[in-house]
């Protein structure tokens, strides 16, 4: 009983995170990928637990095995899709879709041949195979085809997919220039970029999912103590992955401040973005700010130019201030003094530039709704309004000029 609860716990945590993510407000397609990951993992871990806990019904056992095989082949593809979204803010991939469809075809063939053989015969067939018992009927075509897709093809493809998913996440970390020194510094409580941390925990999640897959020798064999240990560690990893994805909004998390000398200023009245254009620099604040302006600007450039923080929807002064471990007054002063713009104007101008770059790179193949979403706008109409304000053009005129430049 205790063993079953331990093995079932990771699937419950995945289900809870998936539901919380769906019920969260303002969730777009890019956030649904995380729910898809959690639900697929739930399906995989839950069906696997049923196999090990044992089912009295042979039919239920076979159905659970088919569900398990489907989820086991689908999960690596979903993991790669999620890693792609976290690392590159890209939500579609033809090659990942092909891998997913291939897995579905393999499981469909296994289920189809099993339905012809029959549930009782399948269970007896696998039991005899484990005991090296052979009957003439096992040499018929349908048994050979079923065994071929169930054993060598399924096992080779599943192992290949899990290894590929781990390699792909490592590739994502490499493209984002995450080095071992950064991980070590993070362990010493220095800050790390949120998306990089998500990728690190995703690779740990994948490794332990793969460990459970490898520990499964047969659906007739019980879990070992090692499997329970893996499940307990997996619970912790799932809790962290879900927490970082859903509740942590800051781009830089879990870190001591890089700007140790910078003092956080207490402002008598909160400064709202709507009044930011009328902000006048107080001389007592200005001196402290100017002493640290170059370091602040260096961090600000990294967040905007390298991390593309402006693509986060609903980005506020508070978000940037928390990411830089400083006061929002400093950020306001920095944008006003260095970039000669208000914070909202600066962010919207960067989003319009990003949208223009996306339009150029995709050569017009990407829909405007997706361009607006990836650029950080709430809708296409919001993009159109900002293009009109910044460029002085309607969206149609802007698209026409952008296409002419592209060609």
Domain boundaries, the chain: 2-253, 273-340, 346-406
What value, to the nearest 5°, has the Cα angle with vertex 353 and ends 349 and 357?
A: 170
- Taking the mean position of all CA atoms in its chain, how far away is CA 92? 13
pLDDT at 39: 95
Residue 346 has pLDDT above 50, yes or no: yes
Q: Give the model's pLDDT for residue 240.
A: 87
**Would you identify the CATH topology of the domain 346-406?**
Arc Repressor Mutant, subunit A (1.10.10)
170 pLDDT band (50/70/90 cuts)?
A: very high
pLDDT in tens, 357-373: 887 777 767 788 888 88
Tens digits of residue pLDDT in 230-282? 889 999 999 988 888 887 766 555 444 333 333 443 344 444 444 444 444 44
- Predicted confidence at residue 10, as pLDDT, reads 93
Beta bridge partner(s), residue 256: 190
DSSP character at residue 190: B
- CA 243, 248, 252: angle at the middle one, nearest 5? 130
pLDDT band with cut points at 50, 70 and 90 for residue 323: confident
Half-sphere exposure of 53 (CA within 13 A, CB side): 18
Whether 51 shows a pLDDT value over 70: the answer reads no
**Average pLDDT score over residue span 8-22:** 91
219 or 62, greater pLDDT: 62
Which CATH class name applies to 2-253? mainly alpha
pLDDT at 393: 78
Looking at residues 166-171, what average pLDDT do you find?
94
Q: In percent, how much of the chain has pLDDT > 90? A: 17
């Amino acid at each position: 009983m205790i063993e079953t609860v331990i093995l079932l716990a990771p699937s419950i945590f995945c289900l809870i995170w998936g539901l919380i993510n769906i019920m969260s407000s303002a969730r777009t397609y890019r956030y649904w990928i995380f729910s898809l990951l959690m639900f697929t993992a739930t399906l995989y871990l839950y069906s696997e637990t049923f196999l090990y806990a044992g089912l009295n019904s042979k039919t239920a056992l076979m159905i659970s095995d088919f569900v398990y095989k489907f989820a086991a082949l689908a999960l690596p593809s979903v993991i790669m899709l999620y890693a792609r979204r976290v690392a590159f803010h890209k939500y579609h991939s033809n090659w990942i879709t092909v891998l997913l469809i291939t897995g579905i075809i393999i499981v469909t063939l296994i289920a189809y041949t099993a339905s012809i053989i029959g549930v009782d015969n399948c269970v007896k067939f696998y039991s005899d195979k484990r005991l090296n018992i052979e009957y003439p009927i096992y040499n018929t075509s349908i048994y050979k085809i079923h065994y071929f897709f169930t054993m060598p093809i399924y096992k080779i493809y599943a192992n290949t997919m899990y290894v590929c998913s781990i390699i792909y996440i490592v590739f994502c970390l490499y493209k984002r220039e995450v080095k071992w020194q950064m991980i070590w510094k993070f362990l010493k409580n220095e800050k790390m970029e949120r998306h990089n941390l998500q990728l690190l925990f995703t690779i740990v999640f994948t490794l332990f999912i793969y460990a459970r897959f490898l520990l499964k020798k047969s659906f007739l064999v019980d879990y070992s103590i090692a499997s329970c240990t893996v499940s307990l560690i997996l619970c912790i990893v799932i809790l962290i992955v879900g927490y970082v994805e859903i509740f942590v909004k800051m781009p830089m998390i879990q870190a001591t401040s890089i700007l140790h000398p910078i003092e956080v200023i207490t402002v008598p009245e909160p400064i709202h973005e709507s009044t930011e254009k009328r902000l006048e620099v107080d001389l007592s604040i200005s001196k402290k700010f100017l002493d640290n302006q170059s370091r602040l600007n260096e961090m600000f450039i990294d967040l905007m130019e390298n991390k593309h923080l402006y693509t986060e929807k609903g980005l506020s002064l508070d978000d940037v201030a928390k990411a830089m471990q400083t006061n929002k007054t400093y950020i306001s002063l920095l944008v006003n003094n260095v970039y000669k713009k208000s914070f909202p104007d600066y962010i919207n101008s960067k989003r319009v530039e990003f949208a223009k770059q996306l339009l150029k790179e995709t050569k017009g193949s990407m829909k405007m709704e997706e361009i607006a979403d990836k650029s950080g706008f709430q809708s296409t109409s919001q993009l159109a309004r900002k293009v009109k304000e910044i460029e002085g053009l309607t969206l149609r005129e802007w698209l026409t000029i952008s296409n002419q430049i592209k060609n």
